[in-house]
Structure 1
Amino acid sequence: MNDRPAGRPGSAGERLLQSHLGTADRAATFYDRQVQPRLTDQMRDFVGRQTMVFLSTADAGGNCDTGFRAGPPGFVTVLDEYTLTYPEYRGNGVHAGNGNVLENPHMGMLFVDFTHHHIGLHVNGAAQLVGDAEQRRVYPHLPLDSAHGRQPSVWVHLRVHEAYVQCSKYIPHLEPAPRPRGLAADRPKDSDYFVPPAAAHAESRAHPPAPTLPMGY
């Protein structure tokens, strides 16, 4: 549900807090200067240089998901001042964020330059999923090999509603470096990093540990 007054940036919740905390005038200055209904030339150039983006989506019930995508500069393609697109690949097969898009098209994107200008760009809009062949028919100039020979399963196509700056004050500085080959010797596999290895997990389910008795028994 969109609770934003027609033609005005900012949600009703934002304005309620601004009034309560006495920041309405400062917020109005930010809205007037920074919140754009389209991608300016500078924003389009910025997106074209970025190699990563953070994503936010929510399903029809408001349950949220965050995501991260990365690729060579330009993997998020600016189609025009109101439209962005990027490819999606098979991944783990869950499709959490894109599943949300099917229920609720609202998507937030955050691009951050950690290495040079230490600045970020928020882009909010309405997303839809488009098949690879269909997207390339309409936009034949899309990159062909942004994931080393992998074929996109779908494209996320975002219609921009607003775009605005993320200030540099708390953006850390990161130095680009070649990615080391292989994994650290003590590093678990991705699938085991935050949960027990599958075999151990199955064993623990088959033979659950005995309950701990209260002291005195």
Structure 2
Amino acid sequence: MTPVHLAPTGTAGPELLQLELSDAPSPAVTDITLHPDDPLGAMPDAAHLPGSRGEHLLQRAFGSVDRATRFYRDQVLDHLNDEMRGFVTRMDMAFIGTADAAGECDVSFRAGPRGFVQVLGERWLAYPEYRGNGVMASLGNISENAHVAMLLLDFVDDLIGLHVNGRARIVDDAELRAVHPDLPTEFDRGRTPERWVVLEVVEAYIHCRKHIPRLVPVDRTRDWGTDDRRSKGGDFFGVRSARTAAR
């Protein structure tokens, strides 16, 4: 399908424009336009910084180089330190970001008992893949593009998050268990992983707490592994009923 490029549909009101233009434009914005072949200009240290060339460019454009450099220096690691590894073992949910070979993205939610994401060392994590809806969107993306982003958030106790970015591969349960025999053998509700995603850590850094809401866990019955439509949410968003009506 050919992408549709939408034109702007209106103009911001004067109060919004005043808010957006309240800060003087950074001189760096003009400077960028003077270097079309090398928009970063003379930034020899950029190659040694974490993150992408694009984020380094925008830091310069929007005047946040100093703040970003402090964050890189103080918070970003290429491995998991002791505190990060301990945090991972306490988490019972994770958000997994993947993209296919064309860059089309997907974010999936994964959950399990605390510690379901296994720490295999300071540079390695693994999370289990169970029987799902059969689409295998995340695994399909990983099979084409190994770059994966994981976000773990503690909504209950510490109100903090951990980003882990890296390269992943898909490993059968028996294959990983042969290398790591200490993997758990008893799983929540008797579910057994069909395979694992093993993530090699490239970047690990904090997600600040100031906008993380505090949540209170509530006991609920979970229908693990069911194909019952009602238990899985039914046609909550009305897609199936709309298509049926259109036939």
Settle same-fold status: TM greater than 0.5. Answer: yes
Aligned twin of 2:195: 154
TM-score normalized with structure 2 length = 0.75
Equivalent residue for 1:124, pick from 165, 180, 202: 165
20 and 136 in structure 1: CA distance in 2 versus 1, 3 angstrom threshold: same
TM-score normalized with structure 1 length = 0.85
Aligned twin of 1:51: 92
Structure 1 residue 89, shift from structure 2 partner: 0.8
Structure 1 residue 95, shift from structure 2 partner: 0.3
Aligned twin of 1:142: 183
CA contact (8 A) 1:60 1:100 kept: yes
Structure 1 residue 6, shift from structure 2 partner: 5.3
* 1:27-48 deviation per Cα after TM superposition (whole angstroms, max 9, x unaligned): 0010011000100000000000
Counterparts of 1:173-192 in structure 2, within 5 Å, are: 173-179=214-220, 190-192=233-235
Aligned twin of 1:111: 152
Relative to its length, the structure with more helix (as a share) is 2
Percent identity, aligned pairs only, is 53
Aligned twin of 1:72: 113
Aligned twin of 1:19: 60
**For the residues of structure 2 that align with 1:91 and 1:169, how far apart are their CA atoms?**
34
Structure 1 residue 176, shift from structure 2 partner: 1.5
* 1:78-105 deviation per Cα after TM superposition (whole angstroms, max 9, x unaligned): 0000000011011000000110000000
What runs of 5+ residues in structure 1 fail to find an aligned partner?
207-217
* 1:24-78 deviation per Cα after TM superposition (whole angstroms, max 9, x unaligned): 0110010011000100000000000000001100000000000010011110000
* 1:170-202 deviation per Cα after TM superposition (whole angstroms, max 9, x unaligned): 0001011212689xxxx896231113456x743
Q: Between Structure 1 and Structure 2, how many residues are aligned?
A: 196
Equivalent residue for 1:194, pick from 237, 240, 247: 237
2:223 is aligned with 1:172? no
Structure 1 residue 158, shift from structure 2 partner: 0.3
CA contact (8 A) 1:18 1:24 kept: yes
Equivalent residue for 1:94, pick from 121, 125, 135: 135
60 and 137 in structure 1: CA distance in 2 versus 1, 3 angstrom threshold: same
**For the residues of structure 1 that align with 2:93 and 2:52, how far apart are their CA atoms?**
27
67 and 196 in structure 1: CA distance in 2 versus 1, 3 angstrom threshold: closer
Equivalent residue for 1:60, pick from 75, 81, 101: 101
Cα RMSD, aligned residues only? 1.9
CA contact (8 A) 1:48 1:77 kept: yes
Partner-residue secondary structure (3-state), 2:150: strand
CA contact (8 A) 1:191 1:197 kept: no
